[in-house]
Amino acid sequence: MPLNHDVIGLESPPAEKSWTSRDTLLYALGVGAGQDDPAGELEFTTENTAGVGQRVLPTFAVLAAQAPARRDLGDFDRAMLVHAEQAFELHRPLPPAGTARVTTTVTGIHDKGSGALVVTEARAVDPATSETLVTSRSSVFIRGEGGFGGSRGPATEWKEPARPPDHRVTYRTRPDQALLYRLSGDRNPLHSDPAFAARAGFARPILHGLCTYGVTGRALLHTLAGSDPARFAAMSGRFSAPVFPGESLTVSMWADGENVAFRTTKDDGTVVIDRGTATIRLG
């Protein structure tokens, strides 16, 4: 059964998305905060440290803008779906606990030949004021669903700066990182069930792309934004290769004023997030 193209351009009914202090703390732990230095990121990992107020990692914005219900994309093998791209704009720092009203729109289903690229935009607003909190754009690639004769979609420009990175930061992940991260809501068995992962062509469960994205966001936050979420305005990147829990991630960063280009690689040089961009407000 082909993908449901009728959903393109239709805005979903608004849905309420709430999160608690526990949710934002668990998310921070899930993307490695405090892992190597438990006292180093207490503003993101605790809510009751003397003189330290709880703050929220900017990449949690992606979860805050996820609608509770998924759009009906049709009947396809979920093992063939992988997260392809993720971008967000954070209009103001999120509170440790809060509520947003979320609407989503499938903006395109593009024919990539070997599969289909489904692009979705989401907007999360403050229910009381209608002020936009987060604008998010995500793409998923569904293997085996291409070849329907549609557009390949727009091309994006990204060039690695012609100089060495201004900064290079390495964070390790834990062997059980995916089991911890999945508690933030993504229970896809691709990240926990060996049999399901094998069906998708992997030797063992892989790390969530959004966990890799969150680890990368921490590196950008602490290296370029002085650990201040108020300075972290936007981030985007393309997932280019799987990460297995326990592997280390190195983020290379090129800063040009507020504009940042970045790339995330594994120890063997494999690029796992490519075409990375971020906007970091100058302090």
The active-site residue, picked from 23, 83, 186, 208, is 186
How many other C-beta atoms are found inside a 10 Å radius of the C-beta of residue 262? 27
Pairing of strands 115-125, 98-111: antiparallel
Has 191 been annotated as catalytic? yes
The active-site residue, picked from 37, 191, 256, 268, is 191
Which amino acid, one-letter code, is at 126?
D
CA angle 209, 89, 81 (to 5 degrees): 30
In angstroms, rounded to a whole number, what is the distance separating the alpha carbons of residues 180 and 29? Answer: 8
In angstroms, rounded to a whole number, what is the distance separating the alpha carbons of residues 247 and 264? Answer: 12
| Of 52, 46, 41, 118, residue with least CA distance to 82 | 118
Pairing of strands 98-111, 15-19: antiparallel
Has 186 been annotated as catalytic? yes
| Residues annotated catalytic, as ranges | 186, 191
